[in-house]
């Protein structure tokens, strides 16, 4: 019998353990690399291997569709459409008071945003003459021509024509006073013209006397200086037109009163009034 040698036994046991560990590590690597064998059921049939867990589905957000509108944004009417509407409305009115009320409710141009009110015309006109300004100078007196200029016109009517101011008509081609006393624009004049045109038709004026070049050009459809326009009787379709100076020009330059009086005499001749030489 071999004598018992503890150190030798311990060394041999250490070598055996080392070999076993290496064997098991190699066997474990082989098993990890090998494909998984299908499992067998109780009857020996193969069962499907459990499927690997599928990665979570990616949630794709759908684009937000714009809200559909059943109605389209309304398109504002053009200038020509607004003009046609006013012409049709004015043509249906046969009373000067109702016509003024319709003009006061008009919102066809931007002047409706700044006006306090439309300026009322002087609409008796029994003598057959209508004085015409382009736009009212003030709203406070509710007349197309107020202040010293209006007073001077009344003196021309009473002292020269021998008429009462109430016997004459005084209208403004633009019913609203433009802000800061600026001249009305061409579009504002066009859009307001049906009101003034209907006023003149209902007045049945026999002669029109525009005061100043802007009013004369608007009535005659011209673009000329007053010195070219005045001194003549213009005969467009409708009543004859006799342009003359605006009373404000007469106040600024009294020398213009003499040629203005000659223009007034032309108008008086159309009315059959005595001119006094």
Using one digit for the tens of pLDDT, what is the confidence trace for 66-98? Answer: 565 566 777 888 989 999 999 999 999 999 999
Q: How is the chain split into domains, by residue range? A: 79-271
Judge whether 132 and 123 are in contact, CB under 8 Å.
no
Cα separation, 160 vs 48, whole angstroms = 123
* pLDDT for position 113: 87
Please answer whether residues 214 and 134 qualify as being in contact, where contact means their C-beta atoms are separated by less than 8 angstroms. yes
> How high is the mean pLDDT of the chain?
82
Residue 256 has pLDDT above 60, yes or no: yes
* Per-residue confidence (pLDDT) for residue 140, from 0 to 100: 60
pLDDT at 242: 98
* Homologous superfamily of the 79-271 domain (CATH): Uracil-DNA glycosylase-like domain (3.40.470.10)
Percentage of the residues of the chain whose pLDDT score is greater than 90: 54
Show Cβ contacts of residue 163 under 8 Å, excluding neighbours closer than 6 positions: 127, 129, 157, 273
Residue 20, pLDDT above cutoff 70: no
Instruction: Express each pLDDT in 196-248 by its tens digit.
Output: 999 999 999 999 999 999 999 999 999 999 999 999 999 998 899 999 999 99
Banded model confidence at residue 60, pLDDT cuts 50, 70, 90: very low
More confident residue, 181 or 247: 247
Residue 23 has pLDDT above 80, yes or no: no
Query: Residue 71's pLDDT is what?
Result: 65
Q: Yes or no: say if 240 and 234 are a contact pair by the CB < 8 Å rule.
A: yes
Looking at per-residue confidence, does 181 or 63 come out higher?
A: 181
pLDDT at 264 over 90: yes
Please compute the mean of the pLDDT values over residues 5-25 and round it to a whole number: 59
Name the pairing type of β-strands 39-40 and 207-210: unpaired
């Amino acid at each position: 019998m071999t004598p018992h040698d503890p150190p030798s036994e311990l060394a041999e046991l250490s070598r055996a353990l080392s070999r076993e560990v290496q064997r098991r590590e190699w066997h474990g690597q082989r098993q990890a690399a090998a494909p998984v064998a299908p499992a067998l059921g109780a009857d020996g049939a193969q069962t499907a291997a459990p499927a690997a867990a599928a990665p979570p589905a990616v949630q794709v957000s759908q684009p937000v569709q714009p809200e559909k509108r059943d109605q389209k944004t309304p398109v504002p009417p053009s200038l020509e459409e607004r003009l046609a509407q006013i012409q049709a409305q004015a043509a249906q009115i046969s009373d000067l008071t109702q016509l003024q009320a319709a003009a006061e409710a008009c919102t066809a141009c931007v002047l409706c945003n700044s006006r306090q009110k439309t300026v009322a015309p002087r609409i008796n006109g029994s003598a057959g003459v209508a004085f015409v300004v382009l736009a009212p100078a003030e709203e406070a007196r509710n007349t197309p021509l107020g202040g010293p200029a209006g007073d001077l016109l009344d003196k021309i009517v009473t002292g020269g024509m021998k008429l009462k101011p109430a016997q004459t008509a005084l209208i403004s081609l633009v019913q609203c006073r433009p802000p800061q006393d600026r001249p009305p624009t061409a579009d504002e004049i066009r859009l307001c013209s049906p009101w003034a045109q209907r006023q003149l038709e209902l007045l049945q004026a026999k002669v029109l006397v525009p005061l100043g070049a802007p009013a004369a050009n608007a009535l005659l459809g011209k673009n000329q200086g007053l010195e070219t326009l005045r001194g003549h009787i213009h005969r467009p379709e409708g009543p004859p037109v006799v342009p003359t100076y605006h009373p404000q020009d007469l106040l600024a330059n009294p020398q213009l009163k003499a040629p203005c009086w000659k223009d007034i005499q032309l108008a008086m001749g159309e009315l059959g009034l005595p001119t006094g030489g």
